[in-house]
Amino acid sequence: MTGAALALSVRGLTKRFGTTVALDNANFDLRAGTVHALLGENGAGKTTMMRVAFGMLRPDAGSLEVNGTVRRWRSSADAIAAGIGMVHQHFLLVPAMTVAENVSLGDRGFFRGFDPRAAADRVRRIGAATGLVLDPAARAADLPVGAQQRLEIVKALARDAKILILDEPTAVLSPSESGELYAWLRSFAAREGAVVLITHKVREALAVADEVTVLRRGRAVLSGSSKTLDEAAIIAAMLGGAISTDKQDSTAKKVPGAPLISLQHVSVTDERGVRLLRDVSMEVRAGEIVGIAGVEGSGQRELLRVLAGRLAPDAGEARIPARVGFVPEDRLRDALIPTMSLVENLALKEAGSQHGTMRWEDYSTRAETAVREHDVRTSGVESPARALSGGNQQKFVLGRELEGSPAALIAENPTRGLDIRAAVHILDELRSARASGVAVVVYSSDLDEVLTLADRMIVCFDGRASATPVDAAAVARAMLGLAS
C-alpha cells in the first residue's frame, strides 16, 4: 500500500495562537486507500492540524496538497468542495431538525427550496450505498449517540467527501459501536477514499489503522506502518519517554482487610418503575481495588452511586461508611462548581453536614494542602475551578475526596478526557489510596484501564452484578451477558 498516491499531504505546517505554538513545522502524509491514525496527547496539535487541513484555521506557514495539487483554503467550504469531510469531536447537529434536514443543511443555493422528499431519498440512497442506514424523518435529538455519529458521516458523504477526518470518534461510543464504526471506516478507505482518525487510544489505533503518525508538541515525531510499530514505541513517542505505563505495581496488597462496604440484595427502581439494579449483593474490603465494568446503561451508574452513599436503594440493605469519597464522571456538573473558588469547592464537600459558621481560614489551608499534595497546577486556591485544565480539575477533585482519610473511594471514569500524563497520575493516586487501606471501587469504560487496576472485577449486565475473573475475555463475555 506504500506505493499509493497521496490523498492529502501537509508540509512544514506551523500555527501559533498568541504565544502558544500549536504546530511547529509539522508534516503529515495520508495515502489513498488507507486509514491513518493521528496520535498524540491532548494539546499535541492533532486537532489543530486537521482543522487547518479542513480550512477552519489558516496556517502561519506550510503547504497543503490534495491529490497531488497544492491547495489553499479560504474557508471550510473550499475544503468540502475538494472532497474533504470532517466529523468533529462535539457533533454539529441541529437537535430539533430531522436527519434529512440536517443532511441538507448547508446545501448551496439561496433560492432553491427545501424538498423534503428529495432530501429523504438522498439519505436513503447513501444508506443503501454505504450501509450507514438512518431514518430520514427521525429528529437528530432523538437519535442515540452512535446514530448521531453516523449522521455526521452521512452529512460529509452527501457532499461527496473522499477524505474523511474523524476527531476522537469513539469517545462517546460503546465498544460494539466502536467496532462497527472501525469496520465501516476500513471498508470506506478500501473502496474509494482515505480516513484520518484523530485519537489518543494507542491500542485502537494500532488495531484499525494502516499507518500511524504521532504528534508531540506540534511536531510529527514518529510515522510509519502500524505493522512495524509497537505500542511501547508509540507511547514513548507520545510522551517523550518520560512515563512508562507498564510500571511495576508494587502497591498491590495480597491480603485485603475487613469489609467496609456491604450490599445485601440491593435493588434500585427509577421513577418510571424501571428496575436499574436487581438484587445486587457485594462487598468491598479495605486495601483492595474492585473494578466495575459494564456496557452503558447496565446499572453500573446506579451501583456506583449506591456504593458512594449518594443513592438510597429501594430494597435491600446497604452498609456504607460515613466517610466515602466519590469522583463522579461529569466533574464540572457533579463534583465541582465551576464558578466558585477551589477553597469553596473544598468546603463543598462538607456543605451538607456543616452547622453554624464556616471556618474559611481552615478551608483555605486545607485547599492549599490538597493543591500541594496532589500536584494541582493553579494560580492559587482563590481562582475559580473553571480556570483549571481538565486534568488539574480532576486532581483537585481526587485530592478533595481523599482528604481526611476516607474509608472508601468510588471513582467513575476517573481519567475521562484527560491526557496520558494526567491519567497516569490519577491511576497512581488510586493505587496509593489502596496501599493506605482505602476500599477503592473504580468503573471505567476503558476496559484495559480497569483491568490493570483491579484486584477483583464485578461486571454489570441488565442491572445485575456478577463477580468475574480479572481477564479481558471473561469480562467482555460477561458485559454481553454471556456465561463465562
Partner 1 sequence: MTFFTRAVRSQAGASAAAALLAIVAVTFVVMAAGYDVSRAAAALWDGSFGSAYSFFSGTLQRATPLIIVGLAVAVAFKAGVLNIGAEGQLLSGAAATITAGLAMSGWPAWLSIPLELLAGMVAGAVWAGIAAVLKRRFGVLEVISTLMLNFVALFGVSYLVHGPLQEPTHTYPETLRLAASARLPLVVPGQQLHLGFVLAIALGVAAHWYIRSTAGGFRLRVAGEGPLAAASAGRVKVDQVLFGAFLASGAIAGLGGAVQVTGVTYKLYELISPGYGYTAIAVALLARLSPFGVIIAGVFFGGLEAGGAGMQRDAGVPAGFVYVIEALVILGVLAVDRARTLAAERAPRVMGETEV
What is the contact surface with partner 1 in residues (CB under 8 A)?
Answer: 17-18, 20, 22, 42-43, 45, 47-48, 89, 309-310, 326, 328, 333-340, 344, 347-358, 360, 377-379, 383, 386-392, 397, 400, 419, 422
Q: How many CB atoms lie within 10 A of CB 98?
A: 21
- Rounded least distance, CB 166 to partner 1, Å: 15
Q: Which three cell numbers stand for residue 64?
A: 497543503
Pick the closest to residue 48 from 198, 170, 204, 233 (CA basis).
198
Alpha-carbon distance of 141 to 480, in angstroms, equals: 27
Nearest residue (CB) to partner 1, 396 versus 461 = 396
Nearest residue (CB) to partner 1, 247 versus 386 = 386
Pick the closest to residue 284 from 398, 402, 407 (CA basis).
407
Sequential DSSP letters for 436-449: TT-EEEEE-S-HHH
Nearest residue (CB) to partner 1, 43 versus 62 = 43
Contact call for residues 59 and 20 (beta carbons, < 8 A): no
- Rounded least distance, CB 223 to partner 1, Å: 21
**Phi, psi (degrees; rounded to nearest 5) at 80:** -65, -45
Pick the closest to residue 283 from 264, 308, 298 (CA basis).
264
- Rounded least distance, CB 191 to partner 1, Å: 31
Nearest residue (CB) to partner 1, 302 versus 419 = 419
Phi and psi based region of residue 181 (left: phi greater than 0; alpha: psi -120 to 50; beta: remaining): alpha
- Rounded least distance, CB 47 to partner 1, Å: 5
- Rounded least distance, CB 283 to partner 1, Å: 23
Nearest residue (CB) to partner 1, 312 versus 482 = 312
- Rounded least distance, CB 171 to partner 1, Å: 12
Nearest residue (CB) to partner 1, 114 versus 360 = 360
Nearest residue (CB) to partner 1, 69 versus 357 = 357
- Rounded least distance, CB 164 to partner 1, Å: 20
- Rounded least distance, CB 302 to partner 1, Å: 13
Q: Which residue has the cell 489505533?
A: 205
Alpha-carbon distance of 39 to 62, in angstroms, equals: 20
Classify 195 as helix, strand or coil: strand
- Rounded least distance, CB 21 to partner 1, Å: 10
Nearest residue (CB) to partner 1, 337 versus 451 = 337
Nearest residue (CB) to partner 1, 22 versus 370 = 22
Spell out where 18-157 has E strands. Answer: 20-31, 35-39, 61-66, 69-71, 84-87
Spell out where 117-176 has E strands. Answer: 163-167
Alpha-carbon distance of 64 to 424, in angstroms, equals: 36
Pick the closest to residue 459 from 263, 317, 291, 266 (CA basis).
291
Alpha-carbon distance of 363 to 348, in angstroms, equals: 10
Distances (CA, A) of 156 to 180, 232, 327: 18, 35, 38
Alpha-carbon distance of 428 to 425, in angstroms, equals: 5
- Rounded least distance, CB 328 to partner 1, Å: 6
- Rounded least distance, CB 14 to partner 1, Å: 13
Nearest residue (CB) to partner 1, 123 versus 423 = 423
- Rounded least distance, CB 318 to partner 1, Å: 15
Greatest extent of the chain over all pairs of C-alpha atoms, in Å: 75
Nearest residue (CB) to partner 1, 116 versus 338 = 338
Say which amino acid occupies 345.
N
Q: Which three cell numbers stand for residue 452?
A: 490493570
Rounded to an integer, what is the distance from CA 302 to the centroid of its chain? 20
b/e for 322-348, b at 16 or more Cβ within 10 A? eebbbbbbebeeebbeeeebbbbbbbb
Nearest residue (CB) to partner 1, 319 versus 386 = 386
Write down the H helix ranges in 162-230: 175-191, 202-208
